[in-house]
């Protein structure tokens, strides 16, 4: 039986890298019926649950998503955030590790960042108190903190991770970040085989730059997770070479988290690596583990050879060149 998976190609280079990933998955021999849909940017906020993307993902339970553009300072709320909230995709999973052939000042980086995805400042509760004064509310609940903690510790147990750092600013935000830590500590007691530590956010950023290899897993609130996951990606080559998954109780979206790159859209030179790596996560999620491993090995081989890499990682290949190289490795 083929899998039915929602596909949101996205904006800018999104459709190009989405097509490349579809071709590679097909070459791996996985039968997927792609249900292509828009993210619903023309849907009013109050009707977002009726958007084509939400309805499609609620039906199919799994989606692959290219990058979506988000206006800065003005315009509607982020569609990325809206999708996570609408589908209760409470856990953002961002594996970060070195990819052979990608220049980096650090080696042997291998960490996973788990980010709570539904609340904190990203709850979007803002209002003008008086002209010139805006208030944003930071929402932290015991329920969400406990849920993401349990997800992180279960992930560590499943994938053989040994240590989790909870990242916080509870020395200043004693109630909100304090509740986050208190909730995690209760969960940590149930997983004695996993080492549990805590680190203040500013020190964690410094420590990550000094020695990223000291981290195995990081557990973070929404804002800290957003910042530190991009910081971690920068240590191994950038957002173009790391995957991302947003996972809930019933649905999951796997996505490229880099920008839409409108300056190169339509030129056929975009790098599909991030979306392909996210698709590998997706295949594991739907229990197509052998195909995930085959594609992962083919991707690593292409990067190790270094002959068909795109411009952003030091090569001169086109999107088609890169895609064909991965497919050739799959077939051999």
pLDDT at 73 (0 to 100) = 47
Q: How far apart are CA 218 and CA 199, in angstroms?
A: 10
Q: How far apart are CA 311 and CA 55, in angstroms?
A: 37
Give the distance between the most distant pair of CA atoms in the chain: 66
* Mean of pLDDT values over 310-314: 93
Round the average pLDDT of the chain to a whole number and report it.
93
pLDDT at 309 (0 to 100) = 95
pLDDT at 252 (0 to 100) = 98
Predicted TM-score (pTM) of this structure: 0.92
Q: How far apart are CA 46 and CA 233, in angstroms?
A: 34
Question: Of 88, 216, 230, 321, which is the active-site residue?
Answer: 230
Please indicate whether residue 294 is annotated as part of the active site.
Answer: no
pLDDT at 40 (0 to 100) = 54
Q: Which CATH number fits domain 117-220: 2.40.50, 3.30.70, 3.90.25, 3.30.420?
A: 3.30.420
Q: How far apart are CA 165 and CA 169, in angstroms?
A: 13
Could you tell me the pLDDT band of residue 308, with boundaries at 50, 70 and 90?
very high
Cβ neighbourhood burial of 19 (10 Å; 0-12, 13-18, 19+):
middle
Q: How far apart are CA 222 and CA 314, in angstroms?
A: 33
Cβ neighbourhood burial of 77 (10 Å; 0-12, 13-18, 19+):
middle
Please indicate whether residue 202 is annotated as part of the active site.
Answer: yes
**For residue range 177-223, what is the model confidence (pLDDT) as tens digits?**
999 999 999 999 999 999 999 999 999 999 999 999 999 999 999 99
Written out in words, the top-level CATH class of the domain with range 1-104+236-332 is: alpha beta
Residue 127 pLDDT > 80, yes or no?
yes
Please indicate whether residue 169 is annotated as part of the active site.
Answer: yes
Could you tell me the pLDDT band of residue 70, with boundaries at 50, 70 and 90?
low
With residue 277 as reference, give the H or E element that holds it.
Answer: helix 273-285
Write down the domain spans for the chain: 1-104+236-332, 117-220
Tokens 């999104």 belong to which residue?
14
Q: How far apart are CA 201 and CA 115, in angstroms?
A: 13
Beta bridge partners of 130: 133
Percent over 90 (pLDDT), the chain: 83
Please indicate whether residue 88 is annotated as part of the active site.
Answer: no
Question: Of 120, 226, 294, 312, which is the active-site residue?
Answer: 226
Q: How far apart are CA 168 and CA 225, in angstroms?
A: 10
Q: What are φ and ψ of residue 312, in 5° steps?
A: -65, -20
pLDDT at 77 (0 to 100) = 61
3-class SS at 179? helix
DSSP state of 248: -
Residue 151 tokens read as 């997800």
Residue 50 pLDDT > 90, yes or no?
no
**For residue range 156-183, what is the model confidence (pLDDT) as tens digits?**
999 999 999 999 999 999 999 999 999 9
Euclidean distance between the first and the last CA atom of the chain, given in angstroms as a whole number:
26
Name which of 6-10, 18-22, 72-76, 245-249 the model is least confident about: 72-76
Residue 85 pLDDT > 70, yes or no?
yes
Parallel, antiparallel or unpaired: strands 91-97 and 126-130: unpaired
pLDDT at 72 (0 to 100) = 54
Please indicate whether residue 85 is annotated as part of the active site.
Answer: no
Question: Of 122, 155, 196, 224, which is the active-site residue?
Answer: 122
* Mean of pLDDT values over 223-247: 96
Question: Of 120, 169, 224, 312, which is the active-site residue?
Answer: 169
pLDDT at 181 (0 to 100) = 98
Residue 46 pLDDT > 60, yes or no?
no
């Amino acid at each position: 039986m083929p899998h039915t998976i929602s596909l949101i190609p996205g904006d800018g280079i999104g459709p190009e890298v989405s097509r490349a990933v579809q071709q590679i998955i097909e070459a791996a021999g996985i039968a997927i019926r792609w249900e292509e849909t828009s993210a619903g940017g023309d849907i009013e906020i109050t009707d977002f649950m009726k958007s084509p993307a939400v309805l499609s993902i609620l039906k199919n339970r799994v989606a692959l998503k290219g990058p979506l553009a988000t206006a800065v300072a003005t315009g509607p709320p982020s569609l990325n955030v809206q999708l996570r909230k609408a589908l209760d995709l409470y856990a953002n999973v961002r594996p970060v590790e070195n990819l052979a052939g990608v220049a980096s000042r650090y080696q042997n980086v291998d960490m996973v960042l788990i980010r709570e995805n539904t609340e904190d400042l990203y709850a979007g509760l803002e209002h003008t108190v008086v002209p010139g004064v805006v208030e944003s509310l930071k929402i932290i609940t015991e329920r969400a903190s406990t849920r993401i903690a349990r997800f992180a510790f279960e992930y560590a147990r499943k994938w053989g991770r040994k240590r989790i750092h909870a990242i916080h600013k509870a020395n200043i935000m004693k109630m909100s970040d304090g509740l986050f830590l208190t909730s995690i500590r209760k969960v940590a007691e149930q997983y004695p085989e996993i080492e549990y530590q805590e680190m203040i956010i500013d020190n964690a950023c410094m420590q990550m730059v000094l020695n990223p290899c000291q981290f195995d897993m990081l557990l973070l609130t929404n804002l800290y997770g957003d910042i530190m996951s991009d910081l971690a990606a920068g240590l191994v080559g950038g957002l173009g070479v790391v995957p991302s998954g947003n996972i809930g109780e019933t649905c999951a979206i796997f996505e490229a988290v880099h920008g839409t790159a409108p300056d190169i859209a339509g030129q056929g030179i975009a790098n599909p690596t991030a979306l392909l790596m996210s698709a590998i996560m997706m295949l594991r999620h739907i229990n197509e583990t052998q195909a995930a491993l085959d594609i992962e090995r083919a991707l690593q081989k292409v990067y190790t050879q270094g002959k068909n890499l795109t411009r952003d990682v030091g090569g001169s290949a086109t999107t088609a060149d890169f895609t064909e190289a991965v497919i050739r490795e799959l077939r051999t």
